Amino acid sequence: MSAQQNYAPISDGNIGIGLNEEPQETTSATCMNLPERVLAPFSYLLGFVSGVLVLVFERNSEYVRFHAWQSCILNLFTAFVYFITIFIPFSGALLAWILLIVNIYAIFRATFDASTQYLWKIPMIGALAEKQVYGTNSLPF
C-alpha cells in the first residue's frame, strides 16, 4: 500500500517571473448602473440641469454626488456672474469665457480622476460641495 500524498503549491507557479498587475479601477456601485467615470462628468455637461438630475437619482456614490454638487454651485455662480456683468461689454464676456473654460476643465478632471477617486476642488466652490456630501452643513443661500 502506498500512502496518498497531498501536494500544495509553494508559489503561484511563475518561477522567477513576476507578473505586473495593472491597478484595478475603483468603481463603486451607482444607483443608475453607470460607471462613476460617466456620471461625474455628466453632472457638468448640461449645466445646472444635469447636476440636479444626478443629485436626485444618485444616492450611492459620494464621488459622483460631490461632482454633482460642485457642478450645481459652479453653474449657479456662473449664472449670477453672467447676469451681473451682462452690461459690461468686455469684462463680462471675458469672465464668461473664463468660467466656461473652468467648466470644461472640470469635465476632464472628473473623467480622468474617477479611477483614483481624487476630488478636484474648485477654490471655494469645492469646499461647499464637500460640506454638502461629507458634512452636515447646508448651503448658505
Q: CA 51 to CA 128: how far, in whole Å? A: 15
pTM for the whole structure: 0.71
CB neighbours of 47 closer than 8 A, spacing ≥ 6?
71, 75, 103
Average pLDDT, the chain: 80
Torsion angle defined by CA atoms of residues 76, 28, 138 and 74, in that order, rounded to the nearest 10 degrees = -20
Question: In the structure, what pLDDT confidence band is assigned to residue 7 with cuts at 50, 70 and 90?
Answer: low
Of 99 and 69, the structure prediction assigns the larger pLDDT to 69
Q: Are 31 and 58 in contact (CB under 8 A)?
A: yes
85 grid coordinates? 456683468
Q: CA 71 to CA 120: how far, in whole Å? A: 12
Q: CA 32 to CA 21: how far, in whole Å? A: 29
Q: CA 106 to CA 100: how far, in whole Å? A: 10
Length of the chain: 141
What's the pLDDT tens digit per position in 30-73? 787 888 888 999 999 998 899 999 999 998 888 999 999 999 99
Q: Closest by alpha carbon to 40, among 127, 115, 122? A: 115
CB atoms within 10 A of CB 86: 11
